[in-house]
Amino acid sequence: MNNTLTLERIDQVVSIDLSYELKAYLFNKFSLNDDYEVSTIVEDEGIQFWKETLFNFSGRKDIFGILKECYSQLNFLIEKERDKIDLYIDVVLRGKMNDIKLEDYQKLEDSKNISFEVHESIAGKIPVLIIPRKEDFVKIVRSLVYKNNPVAIPSSMGAVLLNGLNNSKRLNMIKKNWLQNNSLGDWNTEFLDNVMPNKSLYKDKMIILSTKPYSDVTANQLGLTEDLWNLYSVSIRKEHEFTHLYTLKKYGQATNNLHDELIADYIGIIKTTWNYNKMWMLTFMGLENYPHYREGARLENYLKESKLSSDDFRQLIKIVKNAIENIAIFDKCVGKLKSTRDQMCRIDALCEIGLIDLASAKGAELLIEIYFENFHRELF
């Protein structure tokens, strides 16, 4: 690998006089937990359940039927405060499925064409649900993420990594097996003492992907054909979420933050097209006409919980734009992705440098230095 590079001059005027709110938003959370490696993490216990379930899947019913058996909230309609209703509480939170029949239940527009498979990622195996109809994607996200409440889902949102999703079928299997071997025992005590504390026994990780254009950006905006952009969109989205899974397992972080998103998009792009395209990245964030920001773009999705002023926002888009420029310089320096170790070292370098440093005049140099230190350390 050649680490010789003439750095380009870019707009690096970022004020050091940042507000408390913006500094808090830009705090590098990956620095909080970097003391263990992904390689030490065993495969999630739920993977074996899904391998066996999918192996035994007969095809006589669509996969959505199996998902409803595992995640009972998928049976309920999307309605305001649905999760406050007694029946929902009994079924979803208490697992009381016996003799309960729902008069109205969730239906998808195209349940037959959703796909569900266990995929190999940089951080191990994980189930991936791919949903072709955007209306169905919204329904499932509202059910599994927002407890069946009709929360607005931005059109630029097309994927989600779920961590800690209760699988009632796995839990019922544990209960059935325990009762068979402990017919006189107290299941409630067993559950409270030995099952509930061990969340890996009944909680799943899952990635949900839509097939719509990535970041709600059209093929025409990028000068691509519809078919090619549709293929790219699914690939970028999948690799993006695999990157979140990696940072979750290694650093304990996969947050709704622009730092995370720049990292995940970088990997998604280079895993799909082998080269980082900074104009794509700027367009994904609504900064293709920087310093003008395109209202409604994906960047807004990661600021909903923050309390940033209009001045903060102007500073932030400058930081994001400069960070993208420096990532492009970094990518040009290190060249095409060569191995899984190379990929891990790139992610680690981007995690270890905060957005303020990444957006600085020496951001690219710092990123390159961290990357090569990590890469050569891995060799010895």
Tell me the pLDDT tens digit for each residue of 40-77. Answer: 556 788 899 999 998 887 666 689 989 998 999 999 99
Question: Which H or E run contains 161?
Answer: strand 159-166
Reply yes or no on whether the pLDDT at 130 is more than 50: yes
3-state helix, strand, coil in the chain (%, to 5): 55, 10, 35
Please identify which residue in the block is written with the tokens 């909903």. Answer: 304
How much is the average pLDDT of 80-88? Answer: 90
- SS3 (DSSP) at 61: coil
| Residue 296 banded pLDDT, cuts 50, 70, 90 | very high
In sequence order, which residues have a C-beta less than 8 Å from that of residue 324 and are 6 or more positions away?
262, 278, 281, 282, 285, 287
Q: What backbone torsions phi and psi does residue 7 show, to the nearest 5 degrees?
A: -75, 135
pLDDT number for residue 379: 63
- Distance between CA 121 and CA 269 in Å, rounded? 15
pLDDT of 98 reads 63
In DSSP terms, 222 is beta-bridged to none
- Which residues, listed in sequence order, are joined to residue 213 by a DSSP beta bridge? none
**For the ranges 44-58, 241-255, 334-348, which has the lowest average pLDDT?**
44-58
Question: Do residues 299 and 317 make contact, with C-beta atoms less than 8 angstroms apart?
Answer: yes
- On average, the pLDDT of the chain sits at 89
Q: CA dist 155 to 24, 57, 70, 213, 379, Å?
A: 27, 33, 27, 10, 43
pLDDT above 70 (res 225): yes
115-121 vs 124-131, strand pairing mode: antiparallel
Residue of higher predicted confidence among 100 and 45: 45
CA 259 to chain CA centroid, nearest Å: 13
In this structure, what DSSP letter does residue 60 have? S
The residue among 82 and 210 whose pLDDT is bigger is 210
Cβ atoms of 293 and 287 within 8 Å: the answer is yes
Task: Judge contact between 117 and 128, C-beta under 8 A.
Answer: yes
Cβ atoms of residues 238 and 128 within 8 Å: yes
How are beta strands 203-210 and 159-166 bridged, if at all? antiparallel
Q: Within 13 Å, how many C-alpha atoms sit on residue 122's CB side?
A: 28
Give residue 76's pLDDT: 92
Report the alpha-carbon distance of residue 63 to residue 57 in Å, rounded.
8
DSSP code of residue 118: E
Instruction: Determine which helix (DSSP H) or strand (DSSP E) holds 274, and give its type and residue range.
Output: none
Q: Which amino acid, one-letter code, is at 17? A: D
Helix (H, G, I), strand (E, B) or coil at 140: helix
Of 347, 336, 266, 354, whose CA–CA distance to 37 is shortest? 347
Q: How sure is the predictor about 38, in pLDDT bands with cuts at 50, 70 and 90? A: very low
Percentage of residues of the chain with pLDDT beyond 90: 74
Q: Return the minimum-mean-pLDDT range out of 47-51, 101-105, 119-123, 204-208.
A: 101-105
248: CB partners within 8 A, 6+ apart: 123, 161, 163, 254
- Note the pLDDT of residue 7: 38
What pLDDT score was predicted for residue 351?
97
The most distant pair of C-alpha atoms in the chain lies apart, rounded to whole Å, by 75
- Buried b / exposed e over 268-282, threshold 16 CB at 10 Å, is bbbbbeeebbbebbb
The torsion defined by the Cα of 284, 289, 293 and 298, in degrees rounded to 10, comes to: -10
Q: Is the pLDDT of residue 222 over 80?
A: yes
pLDDT tens track for 306-322: 889 999 999 999 999 99
The two beta strands, 203-210 and 124-131, are parallel
Q: Which residue has the tokens 């998902």?
A: 67
Domain ranges of the chain: 1-33+227-380, 47-212
Q: Is 286 left (phi over 0), alpha (psi -120 to 50) or beta?
A: left
